[in-house]
Amino acid sequence: MKLYEKYPVYLTNSLSRSKEKFEPLTPGHVGIYLCGPTVYGDPHLGHARSAISFDIVNRYFRHLGYKVRYVRNITDVGHLENDADEGEDKILKKARLEQLEPMQVVQQYTNSYRLAMAQLNVLPPDIEPTATGHIIEQIELTRKILEQGLAYEVNGSVYFDLKKYLQTGQYGKLSGKVVDDLLVNTRDTEGVEEKRFPLDFALWKKAQPQHIMRWPSPWGEGFPGWHIECTAMSAKYLGVPFDIHGGGMDLQFPHHECEIAQGMGAFGQEPVKYWMHNNMLTIGGQKMAKSLGNFINLQQFFTGNHPLLAQAYSPMTIRFFMLQAHYRSTLDFSNEALQAAEKAMKRLFGSLKILKNMEHPGSPQQGTQDQALNHFVDQLYQNMSDDFNTAKTLAVLFDMSAKVNEFNTDKSKLKEAGAEAFNRFKESFQTFILDVLGLHEESGRGHELLEGTIRILIELRKKARAERNFALSDKIRDDLKAIGIQLMDGKDGEINWTIE
Ligand code: ZN
């Protein structure tokens, strides 16, 4: 029996706004598409939250035994500053300000995004397609929508004909937006007159003479609209329909709403079975914005180099902090919350270290603790299978830590556990921390030196006790405690330590 049969996954589908049992389109396989970054600036917390949320989805499906194809794109072209298909291309603007060739901007921020993701232990996607690498597919898809009579060409640009689409299709079902309300809120902007209907959106835009990123097309030189790239690349690598499309909540409208309309227009069917969205985050209760001065990028978090940061926060602290909340909850960053996360994570790794060195005596095969130990493991799976609830999963891991400490302080308790249940408990604790949640200990040279130094002190203390020099052995223990290092005496003379 596969793990996914034993612990079936339930996830919240944004389309139905309810929790549904996950049934893959192809048994045993999962296709996931996540809208990746637009590469024109330093990766920030918003990027991290989306990437980590879906990294968890990717990791857990794999752990359960599914064969996963995970696609996360790089948006490196044609993403204009506002949703009315007007304004400056963000990449071109950055290139102009920094006096770089646009593809230099794209390469630079693609590199910094990949570096930050690796630091956060986000697994790389199976396929990472770029918009510039799929211009032909986007042109083909635009042509297909034109053939269906759901798009029209004006002055070298092609727009999706939303009014026509509305005769049979629905627009707003994902975001809950109502077309009439949207019309009221649509500002008259220059260029709108090209559109037959204010909510029509660009599939292809004619390039103005100063526009550098441009490609030939049947409609003249131009560049693709933003929404069409995700429809073209997801269809190419995952087929139509595919299982899961993810992204931040802010992409529901218009980006994902437009993807549904394009998919319906081009393929005559819903392109995606399950839509999943991660919620937004705030800093000190405020939305993150350059104008508010609270826009902290990931490298600034990692180095502590920002006026709002009391210290540096390691990539794993950021990851752990994010996992303490469910992906559908909003999340507020503060120094206090990050410091608390840092401490909690150290406690968890302290228990992991103790458990790694703990071996079951081999007998009995069954014990009075078995039911409790197996229950912990089942809870890990049940919480992850319940819409990837990492917050509750972490809570179970902390309950398990308490059990580890109990075994450690009183080794006779280990004999109350059967070998099989203990080994399952041990393996699951380790697997969920390292593989499913993707956390790892940030050791480094500093940590190795600390580890070695404390080991020396522990040996000196053992010697002092053996010589009945209790004044010295107590002093070593108390002085370490005063700087936040706690020694824990085991019954059989073993001494472990943790950072409080
Ligand atoms: Zn997208």
Q: Which residues of the chain have pLDDT under 50?
A: none
Among candidate residues 109, 45, 33, the one with its CA nearest the CA of residue 73: 33
C-alpha distances (whole Å) from 123 to each of 172, 189, 398, 435 are 33, 42, 25, 10
pLDDT of residue 78: 62
pLDDT of residue 189: 52
Going by C-beta distance under 8 Å and a sequence separation of 6 or more, which residues neighbour residue 49? 248, 278, 280, 281, 322, 327, 331
C-alpha distances (whole Å) from 492 to each of 123, 364, 409, 488, 495 are 41, 20, 9, 12, 9
| Distance from residue 272's CA to the centre of ligand 1 (Å) | 13
| Distance from residue 33's CA to the centre of ligand 1 (Å) | 9
The torsion region of residue 104 among left (phi > 0), alpha (psi -120 to 50) and beta comes to: alpha
| Distance from residue 250's CA to the centre of ligand 1 (Å) | 11
pLDDT of residue 193: 77
pLDDT of residue 492: 61
Instruction: Name the architecture of domain 3-278.
Output: 3-Layer(aba) Sandwich (3.40)
CA atoms within a 13 Å half-sphere pointing along the CA-CB vector of 55:
23
C-alpha distances (whole Å) from 206 to each of 154, 158, 222 are 9, 8, 4
Domain map of the chain by residue range?
3-278, 283-436, 445-499
Side chain identity at 233, as an amino acid letter? M
Q: Are 272 and 21 in contact (CB under 8 A)?
A: no
Three-class DSSP category at 152: strand
| Distance from residue 467's CA to the centre of ligand 1 (Å) | 69
Question: Which residues have their alpha-adjacent CB atom under 5 A from ion ligand 1?
Answer: 35, 230
Going by C-beta distance under 8 Å and a sequence separation of 6 or more, which residues neighbour residue 89? 78, 79, 80, 81, 211, 213, 223
| Distance from residue 258's CA to the centre of ligand 1 (Å) | 10
| Distance from residue 74's CA to the centre of ligand 1 (Å) | 9
| Distance from residue 309's CA to the centre of ligand 1 (Å) | 32
CATH topology match: 3-278 vs 283-436: no
| Distance from residue 323's CA to the centre of ligand 1 (Å) | 24
CATH code that applies to domain 283-436: 1.20.120.640
* Cis amide bond preceding 216, omega within 30: no
| Distance from residue 490's CA to the centre of ligand 1 (Å) | 54
| Distance from residue 253's CA to the centre of ligand 1 (Å) | 11
| Distance from residue 247's CA to the centre of ligand 1 (Å) | 7
pLDDT of residue 80: 64
Alpha carbons 269 and 111: distance in angstroms, whole number = 36
Give the N- to C-terminal CA distance of the chain in Å, as an integer.
Answer: 42
| Distance from residue 130's CA to the centre of ligand 1 (Å) | 11
